[in-house]
Amino acid sequence: MSEPVSALNAAAFDGLAHVQEAGLHGMITLRGDHADADFAQAVADVAGVAMPDQREVVSGGDTSLIWMSPDELLLLCPYAEAGETVTKLTEALGDTHALAVDVSDARVVFTLTGTHIRDVIAKLAPVDMSPAAFRPGMVRRTRFAQVAAAVWLRDDETAQIICFRSVAPYMFALLCNAATPGTEVGIF
């Protein structure tokens, strides 16, 4: 077996914010109707956290359940557990019209930390990043410059960003550029 490595080998940058490629994460895409009680129950049981409401993230321990659309969730878990979790989900979902797929190696996670993370994100995404509009626990799928991404705040000084692994170097370059020291906008 080859040793799995993350997209940018934990590359990091210090500027307006600390930009960190966050290493390997288990990521499972779940498709199914959130309004279907059987689907919601099976997912919550296996994930061990509650189903998120619209555009919300529910976290517990090292697991996060992220609302992606009315029929899509992203489950974050430790990398080594992803395969087993997919098996458990598939069993728990049974005959429910649903799908669980391990996409851990298809995506990359970045972490932004610091007091200027809202500045950095607002330079790249068409999203209202004011503290009143975008609060910790909310998720937003959007674009960062030219690539699709999802972003959520763990707290007021920690953001997580997910994008496709194939555009990881582009995303890292974007984040580093937007975090160039001395370029704070200071409206948040």
Partner 1 sequence: MLILECPYCGVHAEETELHGGGEAHLTRHGPESSDQDFEGYLFQRENPRGVHFERWRHVHGCGKWFHAARCTATLEVFGTYSAQTSEPPQHIRDRISAKRPGWSWRELA
Binding site for partner 1 (CB under 8 A): 54-55, 68-70, 72, 126, 140-143, 148
Name the minimum Å distance from CB 109 to partner 1. Answer: 18
Name the minimum Å distance from CB 142 to partner 1. Answer: 6
| Residue placing its CB nearer to partner 1 in the complex, 107 or 140 | 140
Note every long-range contact of 122-125, with CB atoms under 8 Å and residues 24 or more positions apart, other chains counting.
122/185, 122/187, 122/188, 123/178, 123/185, 124/174, 124/175, 124/178, 125/149, 125/151
| Residue placing its CB nearer to partner 1 in the complex, 113 or 142 | 142
Name the minimum Å distance from CB 50 to partner 1. Answer: 19
Phi, psi of 177 (to 5 degrees): -65, -45
Helix axis angle for 82-93 and 37-47, nearest 10°, is: 150
| Residue placing its CB nearer to partner 1 in the complex, 97 or 143 | 143
Name the minimum Å distance from CB 66 to partner 1. Answer: 12
Distance from C-alpha of 52 to C-alpha of 178, rounded to nearest angstrom: 30
| Residue placing its CB nearer to partner 1 in the complex, 67 or 110 | 67
**Angstrom distances, CA of residue 153 to CA of 55, 57, 60, 61:** 12, 9, 15, 16
